[in-house]
Amino acid sequence: MHQNGFILWFTGLSGAGKSTLATYLAPKLKERGCKVEILDGDEVRENLSKGLGFSKEDRDTNIRRIGYVAYLLARNGCVSITAAFSPYREIRDECRKIAQAPFIEIFVDAPLDVVEARDTKGLYKKARAGIIKQFTGISDPYEPPHKAEIVVKTGDESIEESAGKILKYLSAKTLIR
């Protein structure tokens, strides 16, 4: 089946639910006949961006790489789902510009106190203790989108609700059936 690619660009703090939502959505999109690839921050940093750190420069390089691969995949009819912090607005906008495919920015909006209380990976504790430096949201900036296509409030919504919002948006835009 012919299908046009698009990009679902998740952005948000650690523990907000970017990867969880990406993983939850992928099979739902496949059921609808989409080809899907997930570009997850942690995984990209093990491969494509191995050796990069967390300075602004390295983060920008990492995000530009993700944006470029997302563009290549979308160009080939694939749904690219990205799940990296992507903390800088300007670089996200740059990825949007090169996409040449529908670029749906999804702000995974969970308050810092909520994600910090969850601390699923124990990273916030380490960041507060100064063991991890330049940690996004604690000792490094996070710039929330001004005009994300979709905002999901994972502090209040269930994963089904957040995913439902996204699927509804995609149907309304006739990107999926």
Active site residues: 86
Closer residue to ligand ADX (CB): 82 or 175: 82
Q: Does 70 bind ligand ADX (CB under 6 A)?
A: no
24-32, 57-65, 152-160, 164-172 -> range binding ligand ADX (CB under 6 A): 57-65
Pick from 5, 12, 17, 41: which binds ligand ADX (CB under 6 A)? 41
Q: Does 124 bind ligand ADX (CB under 6 A)?
A: no
Task: Please state, in angstroms and rounded to a whole number, the distance separating the CA atoms of residues 115 and 34.
Answer: 31
Q: Does 135 bind ligand ADX (CB under 6 A)?
A: yes
- The tokens 């530009």 sit on which residue? 64
Q: Does 89 bind ligand ADX (CB under 6 A)?
A: no
Residues that bind ligand ADX (CB under 6 A): 14, 41-42, 45, 54, 59, 62-63, 84-87, 121, 123, 132, 134-136, 140
